[in-house]
Structure 1
Amino acid sequence: MTRKFLKNPMPQFSSDKKFNKTIQKIQRQKDKINTDVFKHNNLKQ
């Protein structure tokens, strides 16, 4: 742990929350892309 973190923990926390939201969004987009690719492959056959 850095001294900066100890002195000021809250901004770190809020940025982590934002980061998690972004990760979730990316994950959802990936799922959607996978689903679309899967549908597309089924149509081709």
Structure 2
Amino acid sequence: MRELVDAGQGVGMILPIAGITIQKFLRKIRIVMMSILICGLW
């Protein structure tokens, strides 16, 4: 249990930085997915 708590605290510190990175990554994926869908429709 203690290990989980330590991991949780570590994740809590990393999350803000990771969250920004993930948002940028998801935005890129969304653009790519839209491009594929648009190309697929044509």
TM superposition score normalised by structure 2: 0.66
Q: Please report the TM-score for the alignment, with normalisation by the length of structure 1.
A: 0.62
Unaligned runs of 5+ in 1: 40-45
Identity of aligned residues (%): 12
Tell me how large the CA RMSD over aligned residues is. 1.5
- Larger-Rg structure: 1
* Ranges of 4+ aligned residues in structure 1 off by more than 2 Å: none
Q: How far does the alpha carbon of each residue in 1:11-33 deviate from its partner, in whole angstroms, 9 at most, with x for none? A: 32111000001011000000000
